[in-house]
Structures are given as C-alpha cells and as structure tokens.
C-alpha cells in the first residue's frame, strides 16, 4: 500500500486562476491538485486533497489525517497569519508538515510576514508559484521515506 499525504488549501484558493493573477498566477486549484497527485504518484504517494473557506472544516480534515496519512502539505492562505486552531491541529497530529505559499509572503504586506504554521513545519516554500507544491511533495517523500 502506498503512503498518503493530505493536501490542504485554505480560503480563497478555490478562486485561483482568476483571483489576482498578478500575485497568484493563472494556474487553478484543479491544476495544483493534478500536479500534486501526478508527482505523488511518481513517488509512490497517494494524495487526498481538501480546500475550504471554513477554518473548522480544515481543522477536521487535518485531524482525520492522523488515521491514514504520513504527511501534510498545506497552503493555509489567510489562515497562515490568523489561525491558532489550524496550527494546533497540525501540531496535534504529529505528522511532517510542509507549508507552501504561491507568492513570496515576505515581500508583501507586513501582516503576511508572520506565520503560525512555520514554527511547526518541517519546511516552508514561498514564492515559487505552483512549482512550490511540486518541491514540497518531493521533499515530503524524502522525509517519510
């Protein structure tokens, strides 16, 4: 049986492709999910993807990952800067976490410079566009063996 990773995308990422393309590019959430699944498959990983604009739904998905996932790849989006609940859920499941951001959050508004997730993440990738997701899957595959 292959190992599984949970791909979590937070609020407003369902609008990718049309939302501020000068910041987030023209790729869609479906494209990201397909890329992650393809790279995961190449590496012997299954991928379960979830996107929600609701914090509690994301917390529930993260908590359920402890049952059948080996790692979590998350773009918490705006919840990066605001959600202790998501941070605590990620910490509680005790799985390797990759934090990914399409844009370079450190080159943007000051409030985007703080992440509740980064201190508990195995690694962070920011500003690489959707390629950051590919990098993250490859690194997670190495971490979980």
Distance between CA atoms of 112 and 139, rounded to whole angstroms? 24
Strand, coil or helix: 3:
strand
Whether the Cβ atoms of residue 93 and residue 65 lie closer than 8 Å to each other: yes
Which is the catalytic residue, given 54, 79, 81, 101? 101
The HSE-up count of residue 37 (CA atoms within 13 Å, CB side) is 9
Contact 94, 119 (CB under 8 A): no
Distance of CA 24 to the CA centre of its chain: 15
101 tagged catalytic:
yes
* Residue of 24, 79, 116, 133 marked active site: 24
> To which H or E segment does residue 5 belong?
strand 3-9
Catalytic residue flag (residue 114): no
Catalytic sites, residue numbers: 24, 101
């Amino acid at each position: 049986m292959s190992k599984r990773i949970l791909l979590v995308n937070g609020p407003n990422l369902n609008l990718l492709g049309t939302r501020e393309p000068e910041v987030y590019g023209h790729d869609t959430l479906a494209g990201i999910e397909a890329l992650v699944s393809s790279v995961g498959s190449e590496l012997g990983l299954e991928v379960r993807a979830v996107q929600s604009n609701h914090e509690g739904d994301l917390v529930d998905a993260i908590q359920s990952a402890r049952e059948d996932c080996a790692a979590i790849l998350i773009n918490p989006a705006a919840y990066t800067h605001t959600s202790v609940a998501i941070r605590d859920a990620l910490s509680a499941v005790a799985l390797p976490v990759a934090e990914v951001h399409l844009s370079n959050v450190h080159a943007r508004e000051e409030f985007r410079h703080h992440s509740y997730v980064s201190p508990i993440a195995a690694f962070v990738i920011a500003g690489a566009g959707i390629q950051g997701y590919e990098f993250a899957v490859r690194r997670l595959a190495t971490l979980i063996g």
